[in-house]
Structure 1
Amino acid sequence: MLTGTFSKRLICATALAVALGASVGEACAQEARIAAVNSDRILRESAAAQAAQKKLEAEFAKRDGDLRDMTQRLKAMSDALDKNGPKMSSVERAEKQRELSNLDSDFQRKRREFNEDLNQRRNEELAAVLDRANKVIKQIAEQQHYDLIVQEAVYVSPRIDITDQVLKALAANAAN
């Protein structure tokens, strides 16, 4: 009895596997349309990304210039202290060192704030560019009947890379 039940189960399992195999084979026989997009190229080469970069440069130019000026003042104060320090009284030298230390602390704080603000704004601008690119990619997928478009891959054959097409569509959308 045990062998009969086991045999029936084995026959059912085999039949099920054959049926599933046939279904999987049919699904594989239908070719999926797949494409890939290089997001890094979009963020480097698209007109929208370049415009965002110029916008950031303009937005942060004054603060960047202020930091450059501060760097020059720090260097000048340090050079003057190195040159004239031995000739100064200990009280005068300590005062100049304190001024230099305070200016350096202020500079470090402002540089850190600048970098944080710049990174936050860059991320915001690049997210907006990627959002526009994703909309264009979706339009291309729908128009050309793609089943899958990937943006990150270890390797992409040039045959399925549609990055140039996305860049052109982004440029056309920006012109409208």
Structure 2
Amino acid sequence: MKSKLLKSVALAAMMSVSAFCVAQEIKIGYVNSERVLREANLAKTAQLKLEAEFGKREKELKDQETKLRGAAEKLEKDAPTLAEAERNRRQRDLVEVDRDLQRKRREWQEDLTQRKNEELGAVVERANRVIKQIFDAEKYDIILQDALNVSARVDITKKVIDTLNAQK
């Protein structure tokens, strides 16, 4: 019963929107945010900045991981000939090094995520300003972001990217 009522209300709303659209021409635009964040020079620059800032730490973590893996393989190979006390000591050392490495990797990931959010937030803010400028200048009634299906006729993503790229 409730779903029939909801369907009826939704149908009535769609019909009134359709009637409004017929009575008055509306101008609709669409922006693919993901594409803007992938293709705009500002976003590419932010990505390069992040890689430069965090690349060294990532390489150090990978090197430490490789060292740890080598030490674990060496322990596995030497284990049969080692005294039990020495084997236990080496295992504890490996566990401690692994724990430290995992902590450093988590810290690196958290720092990277925070900086990525800051950098991409700045790009999104600039893109939103550009979208607002286009909205005002070209007299759009509505500009949507991230819809499921969109006609190429209303897609203004390239215009937003080009405008962003033209800015300094």
For 1:80, which of 70, 74, 87 is the aligned residue?
74
Q: Which of 144, 162, 165 is matched with 2:138 structurally?
A: 144
Match of 1:130 in 2: 124
Residue among 83, 86, 89 paired with 1:89? 83
Alignment partners' CA distance in 2, 1:80 and 1:31: 74
1:14 matched residue in structure 2:
none
- Show the counterpart of 1:99: 93
Per-residue CA distance 1:92-146 (angstroms, 9 max, x = gap) = 1011101100000001111111111111111111111010000011111111111
Partner amino acid, structure 2, of 1:94: N
Aligned length: 153
Match of 1:170 among 150, 164, 168: 164
Match of 1:59 in 2: 53
Q: Distance in 2 between matches of 1:172 and 1:158?
A: 23
Aligned residue for 2:135, secondary structure, equals helix
Post-superposition offset of 1:30? 1.4
> How far does the alpha carbon of each residue in 1:139-165 deviate from its partner, in whole angstroms, 9 at most, with x for none?
111111111101121111000000000
SS in 2 for 1:98: helix
Paired position in structure 2 for 1:70: 64
Task: Give structure 1 stretches of 5+ with no counterpart.
Answer: 1-23
Aligned partners of 2:104, 2:66: CA distance in 1, in Å?
15
- Return the TM-score normalized by structure 1: 0.82
C-alpha separation between the residues in 1 aligned to 2:117 and 2:55?
A: 18
> Following TM superposition, where does structure 1 have runs of at least 4 consecutive aligned residues deviating by more than 4 angstroms?
24-28
Q: Secondary structure at the match of 1:110?
A: helix
Alignment TM-score, normalising by the size of structure 2:
0.86
Does 2:147 align with 1:160? no
Q: Quote the RMSD (CA, aligned, Å).
A: 1.8
TM-superposed CA distance for 1:72, in Å, is 1.0
